[in-house]
Amino acid sequence: MTDPRRYLVRMIIFLAIVASIAALLWAPLHNAFMGNPALNGVILGALLLGIIYVIRQTLRLSPEQRWLVGVQKNGKLKQPNAKPVLLATVYAMLADQNQGEHLSALSLRSVLDGVAARLDEGREISRYMIGLLVFLGLLGTFWGLLQTIGAVGLVVGSLDADSTNFDTMMTQLRNGLDAPLSGMATAFSSSLFGLAGSLVLGFLDLQLGQAMGRFFNELEDWLSAFAKFNEGGAKTDGVSTSALASGMSEEAARALLSLSHSIAAGEESRAQTLAQMSTMNTALASLNEAMADDRRLREQLAQLNANILQLSADLQRDRTQQTSIVASELRALSSSIAKLINEKSAPRPAPRASKGS
């Protein structure tokens, strides 16, 4: 990667050239500065602060560049040096990447937007300082013009038109023009220092912008190659994240991805619910069959009990009939035996004598 300090060398060379020109023009610049030392001192002080700030912002890129080079060479985030500041989003993104995860184009865009916002934020003060120098130059210009106009009015009002002494009138005019000339000196000197300071600070800010632009472009190239290498695995329901994110804003893509995940989770939950309902229906069917079998068993037991009762009643009736028959037979047999016994025990009649005897 390009070392940001090369742009710092350009700044130092440019400042050396400006200082050489100021040294060659020291006498007129000193006279112009003395036109209004307070305002011109404020302008030069703002210029000095702007130069220090731009150099500081350029030097801030060096640790970020070294950290990024270390990550590219070693492929590890846990380095002995401190965590990056401008590349904090890159550090967070790489730290969250696991072996099974991939850097999608949507994440790449979010990371690059964060880095670009941090870089632009670093140039806001330098841009403001450039505008401040122009404003102070214009402020001194209008302030000097107001002094000039007021002084000219006083000079014209102090002239005695009825005086016949021309030398005295010219002396009054020459003395009265000192104040307008002082106002013109304030106007032109402040404009000179303000515009020159904005020119110097603008060139330094241009070098700072080039350094940040080169740094951002090289970071984007590296992250783009990394994302392109891992792009194949970043898919959701058969649709890649980059294809989903193309043609729409980042927030819309995130919302659509979140909705897709919610729908997928809902479908999975619905499938689980259907499986549980199917299992429950099977259990209810088995329970119903068991209850039906139990009902049939109870009916069969009742039928068997009724058959046993009927059989018992039939056996009891048959036993009663047989007992009655046996009793009647026994009574008949007893009557027959008694009759036979009576017949045998009765006396027999005597035999009759025959007539011949």
3-class SS of residue 236:
strand
Distance CA(341)–CA(291), nearest Å, equals 72
Summarize the chain as % helix, strand, coil (round to 5).
85, 0, 15
At residue 262, the 3 state secondary structure works out as: helix
Which comes out higher in pLDDT, residue 182 or 114?
114
Find the distance separating the first CA and the last CA of the chain, reported in whole Å. Answer: 185
pLDDT exceeds cutoff 70 at 193: yes
pLDDT, one tens digit per residue, over 63-88 is: 888 887 777 776 655 554 567 777 77
Tokens standing for residue 181: 């000339």
3-state secondary structure of 35: coil
Q: What would the mean pLDDT of 107-120 be, rounded to a whole number?
A: 79
Query: Going by C-beta distance under 8 Å and a sequence separation of 6 or more, which residues neighbour residue 227?
Result: 103, 104, 105, 107, 108
Taking 80 as the threshold, does the pLDDT of residue 96 lie above it? no
Chain mean pLDDT for the chain: 75
What would the pLDDT profile of 207-256 be if each residue is shown by its tens digit?
888 888 888 888 887 777 766 444 444 444 444 444 444 445 555 666 77
Give the pLDDT score at 239.
43
pLDDT at res. 16 = 94
